[in-house]
Structure formats: C-alpha cells, structure tokens
Chain A
C-alpha cells in the first residue's frame, strides 16, 4: 500500500517539476534590487563581548583616582619641587638660555690654590654640593646659574670646608651663623 502511494507521489512530482521554470527577468531584477537596498548585517565577531557597559564602581573609581593623582604628582614633580628651579648644572654652562622667570648669573671667585669650589646660597637651598664651579686657566672659578629675580644671599665653599664671601659683592647683615653672606640683586633688566 505504501509503495503504491510513493509511486503516485513520485509520478506527480515528476510531472510538476518540469513546469517550474526560471523566474522571469523582471521579477529577478526586482528581487536583486530589493536585496541591494537592504542594510548590511553587522559582523558578529566571536571574541567581542556580548554586552559592554560602563559600570559605576566606587571602589574601582577611587583606586583609579589615586593612581591618576599620583601620576599627575609625579609628572608635576619638577614644577613643585623647589630643587628643580635650580638644577645641578655642569661646569661651563655659559650658553644655557634663560627662561622668562630666571636670569643666568655668572659667579666668579679667584682662588688659584683651591682644588674644589662650590657656590651655595638660597637659590640652591644652601646645598653645599649642588653647584660645583669650573676652574679656568687664570685660577678663577666660575659657575653660571639661573636665578630668579630678587635679592639673594650666597657664599663660596673652598675645598669643602672653608666659607668665603664674594669680594666683589656687598655683605649681607649678620644672620646669626657667624659667617657673613654676600648679596646679589637679580633684576628684570640687569643684574650684578
């Protein structure tokens, strides 16, 4: 019984199939035109997270803020640290350019028998080793330092332990430490 039914179905399909011809050209053109106007589907990449959203996490935000704040502090280190205003400069830096705030000042001390001389003052936070001076053939020791405009006090340290005031500059009043400093005025247009 089943075999008879199958044979009947096959016969009918064989009769019907040849009748299905290709679509006419106009219908095909309409179909293709419609397909072209359809929007392109987005590519679905396997590695992309299915859902991405900003989540307000206070603890994470605070931690990120600390990291950013520390980084900003590190970046601004040179601007906040007063030591950065008077960098340790190598000897013989006469060609260092000045900024709008700082003026290049040349310090000179004649000490032909000295083996080591530094200049120390409020402009380098009185650091005895911050600003070594360079020895010239004449026996003079020189250092060029960028200094902010204003009145500054300073002295020279010869061979590590002998404090010497600048013979070419006036002396500051006694300040309680027993060693008189020299005074320099750095102005907007001219300096000593």
Chain B
C-alpha cells in the first residue's frame, strides 16, 4: 500500500514537468501584454478551458492585440468576443467537436454565418470532420459571396456527399473566377454545378 502511494507520487512527479512546461508555453503568448491585461486574459482562457472551449485561439487574439499595440480594454473585449464565438460554435457543433472544428466554426460565425447553418452541417456530417466545410464556408463569405448563397451551397454540397477535396477545389475555382471578374454568387453556383452537383434550392426565408 505504502509502496503504491510512492509509485503514484513518482508518476505524478514524472508528468508534472511536462504539464507545467505545456502551460508555460501557452502563457508565453501573453508575455507582450502588461501584467494586468495578461492576468485578465488568462482568467478568460482558464474559463474557456474548463468549459471545453479551445483556449489557445484566445491567447492568439491577445497576442495579436499586443502586436498591434491595442489598448488593454480593446484587447480584453476582443478576447471576450472571440470566447463568445467559440462557445456558440461549440454549442452549435456539439461538445464532441474537435478544437479545430470549434475554432473554424467560430471563424464562420464571426464572418456572419448563422449558428443554425453550423448545426445543420453537423447533422449532415455527424461522423466526418467539419473542419474543411467550415473553413471553405468562411472563406467564401470573406470573398463576398452572400452569406445565404455560401451557406446554401455548403449545405447542399454536404448533403450530396461532397468530399473535402471537392470543397477545396470549389473554393479555389471560385477564387479564380472572382479574380476574373465573375460575381462571387454566380461563381459559387456555377462551380458547384461544375462539381457535378445541381444547384441548391433557394435559401430558406430567414436563413443567413
């Protein structure tokens, strides 16, 4: 019994330096903030971690604020907004989602995509990763494809069983078309057909 306790203590001692090292590596991202702001951001990140929300992107947001010499209150506000987006993405995509999916979902939400679209994408691909669909969706919106069109196209492609490679090809071709002067919405619809998928039905009323 006593030897077992000692073994447990030794295993803990073995793992402790690794855990401390990982935490210190994360905390390093806040080195360029003033101590009070860094502490506040760290508290938010700790809350996120406890809730199963990927907190590293919060630290990156704070690091971005430090590099841009943003005032502390603006940095903290940006971190809180990012935290809200991550929480909403996790709720829409499900608690079993990977950190990458949640981060990509937050990016899509901050681009204007609705939480309902995220939830429907998850319903259509319950087992497969949503990382690529979410990244492509956010990218299409960033390229001025209307949110309704981009959401509808991505839902339709997922319903038709499009693979990640297909979606990445779609994104690349839409980008190319837009650079040639084609309107973002038209480029998205024509390229979707080019992948062998008939155009999706018109977006539902109220869907974003």
Q: Which residues of A are in contact with B by a Cβ distance under 8 Å?
A: 56, 58, 61-62, 65-66, 68-70, 72-73, 76-77, 80-83, 120, 122, 125-128, 150-151, 163, 170-173, 175-179, 183, 185, 187-190, 192
Given A69-B15, A82-B56, do A177 and B25 touch, yes or no (CB 8 Å)?
no
| Cross-chain contact B22 with A80 (CB below 8 angstroms) | yes
User: Roughly how many angstroms separate A126 CA and B132 CA in the complex, as a whole number?
Assistant: 24
Residue-wise interface mask of B (94-130) relative to A, using a CB-CB cutoff of 8 A (1 in contact, 0 not): 0000001000100100111000000000000000000
- The A/B interface has a contact count, at CB < 8 Å, of 123
- Secondary structure of the B side of the interface? helix
User: Roughly how many angstroms separate A115 CA and B64 CA in the complex, as a whole number?
Assistant: 23
| Cross-chain contact B70 with A177 (CB below 8 angstroms) | yes
Indicate which residue in B67, B77, B169 contacts A126 across the interface (CB closer than 8 Å). B67
B10: chain A residues within 8 A (beta carbon): 61-62, 65
| Cross-chain contact A69 with B56 (CB below 8 angstroms) | no
Given A151-B104, A176-B81, A177-B74, do A125 and B6 touch, yes or no (CB 8 Å)?
no
A73: chain B residues within 8 A (beta carbon): 17-18, 20-21
User: Roughly how many angstroms separate A22 CA and B88 CA in the complex, as a whole number?
Assistant: 107
Tell me the nearest residue of chain A to B171, going by C-beta. A185
| Cross-chain contact A172 with B142 (CB below 8 angstroms) | yes
With contacts A68-B14, A175-B110, A188-B132 known, what are 20 further pairs, Cβ within 8 A? A56-B3, A62-B9, A66-B14, A72-B17, A83-B28, A120-B67, A122-B57, A122-B60, A126-B64, A126-B66, A150-B131, A151-B107, A173-B142, A175-B61, A183-B142, A185-B171, A188-B165, A189-B168, A190-B168, A192-B172
Residue-wise interface mask of B (15-43) relative to A, using a CB-CB cutoff of 8 A (1 in contact, 0 not): 11110111001101100000000000000
Q: Can you sample 13 A-B contacts with CB below 8 Å? A: A61-B6, A62-B6, A62-B13, A66-B17, A80-B22, A82-B25, A122-B60, A126-B67, A127-B63, A151-B138, A179-B68, A187-B132, A189-B169
| Cross-chain contact B139 with A151 (CB below 8 angstroms) | yes
| Cross-chain contact B171 with A58 (CB below 8 angstroms) | no
B54 at the binding interface (Cβ < 8 Å): no
Number of interface residues of B (CB under 8 A): 56
B104: chain A residues within 8 A (beta carbon): 150-151
A72: chain B residues within 8 A (beta carbon): 14, 17-18
B111: chain A residues within 8 A (beta carbon): 173
Interface centre among B74, B142, B169 (most CB of A within 10 A): B142
Tell me the nearest residue of chain A to B66, going by C-beta. A126
B136 at the binding interface (Cβ < 8 Å): yes
| Cross-chain contact A185 with B165 (CB below 8 angstroms) | no
| Cross-chain contact B64 with A122 (CB below 8 angstroms) | yes
A62 smallest CB distance to B (angstroms): 6
